[in-house]
Amino acid sequence: MSTEFDVVVIGAGPGGYVAAIRASQLGLKTAIIEREALGGICLNWGCIPTKALLKSGEIYEQLSHLGGYGLSVEKASFDFAKIIDRSRGVAKTMSSGIAFLMKKHKIEVVEGEAKLEKGSPSPKVVVALKAGGSRTIQAKSVILASGARAREIAAIGAVSDGDKIWTYRDALAPKTMPKSLVVIGSGAIGIEFASFYRALGAEVTVVEAVDRIMPVEDAEVSKAAQKAFEKRGITFRIGAKVTKVEKTKDGVSVAIEVGGKAETLTAAVCIVAVGIAPNTEGLDAIGLNMDRGHVVTGKHGETNVPGLYAIGDAAGPPWLAHKASHEGIHAAEHIAGYKTPAVNSPIPGCTYANPQVASVGMTEAAAKAAGIDVKAGRFPFRVNGKAVAAGEIEGFVKTVFDGKTGALIGAHMIGHEVTEMIQGFVTAITLEATEEDLHGIVYAHPTMSEAMHEAALDAYGRVLHI
């Protein structure tokens, strides 16, 4: 069968559509297949619409603190339907933007669901078209960017019904504002929804199986985050095993075990936020190597099947949009013959709750466990001039250095808009910056990013403003 395209990308999320654009830029004839909406989960049901909701919640919450700024407002209220409509409108706008980019780069968009079959020089792609019928495409290379979906646990009843038991998709567009919620899981997804619904006045309880919330974060950040969220009225049940989720007449009941003792939590709604499941079913038919549902890849995204690459959520953690985009660019360049280095850039993680949390690299505990001679520095926003002026004094910046080499190996933040600050440390780690490099950087004053400089100084006993 003759090759119709140089590259076919399966999945038009942040990994897939970016891979397609880069392939087209490199002169490769490219097609992209999407079964739902351009932009994938991230733009339509994840990263982007959640940020629209969180912004509405943040502004509404700020209204109760206007007195501290010499301002006042009477009878603050919100229209929940309009908040949801705005979020959906933002998602639609972004998805339309991806359609424009596909047209601009002359990428053929095929609407339908793809299936891989054995073929040469790459697997054949058989598409069940949305419009009806099917189409078989043979390309020189295929990039699998099929993404993932919410993980559900049927054994305990933690399965979405779209009514009282939700996953992230349900939580993004409910018909009515719930008065109370139980959120299972304190990762980024669970915490962001807990933050949003609490901002609008819902009673929120977060259940976490391990001994602290946001367990992938540095322990100091995790502790500070729980304290900040509890101050806002969110309740936590830590070290709690969920044994049963059941619908009731008035909502849901969530049975948990804490320290060997059984408890039952009740609420109007339960959000299941216990991770993701990759969309990789059926790939064993072409002999693809898999590991716990994820595709096994090499350093360039290549798989054991000739001509097939895998990127993003389908290829394993971290399950982040920017990681998928980075891998997509890398795979496209490798297909085009570029001698690209291995994919090993540091991947930042961000949680857009109030307060925000951002991190990159190793935690202090992980570095010590690896036998590294750690030098750690900290600087609180409460003594940063811009933070004090803005009334955003909550949180701190923490740095982790290798004491022998001086290399920055980790950075962790909690506070106002820290997700916009973390990239400075991502760049530093990528460029293998040392403490001397960071100490010599001039930071604009007054900015909250000055706390980054102070935290780097503090690791070596040179902090200035404490």
- What whole-number distance in Å separates Cα of residue 444 and Cα of residue 167? 42
* CB 274, CB 194: distance < 8 Å: no
Q: What is the DSSP letter of 279?
A: S
The reply to whether 439 belongs to the active site is: no
Length of the chain equals 466
Q: Which of 65, 300, 322, 445 is catalytic?
A: 445
| CA-to-CA dists, residue 453 to 230, 278, 325, 390, angstroms | 29, 39, 29, 19
| Tokens, residue 378 | 């900290």
CA gap 41, 312 in Å, rounded: 12
Give long-range contacts, CB 8 A cutoff, 24+ apart: 327-331. Answer: 327/15, 327/19, 327/301, 328/9, 328/14, 328/15, 328/16, 328/18, 328/19, 328/20, 328/22, 328/143, 328/145, 329/18, 329/19, 329/22, 330/300, 330/301, 331/19, 331/143, 331/300, 331/301, 331/302
Tokens of 244: 């049963």
Query: Are the CB atoms for 1 and 137 separated by under 8 Å?
Result: no
- Please tell me the distance from the alpha carbon of residue 305 to that of residue 273, in angstroms, as a whole number: 33
- Residue 211, number of CB atoms within 10 A of its CB: 9
Beta strands 30-34 and 5-10, pairing class: parallel
- For the beta carbon of residue 142, count every other beta carbon within 10 angstroms: 29
| Rounded Cα gap, residues 32 and 147, in angstroms | 14
CA distance 256 to 243: 5
DSSP secondary structure letters along 210-263: SSSSSTTS-HHHHHHHHHHHHHTT-EEEETEEEEEEEE-SSSEEEEEEETTEEE
Distance CA 347, CA 350 (A): 10
**Catalytic sites, residue numbers:** 445
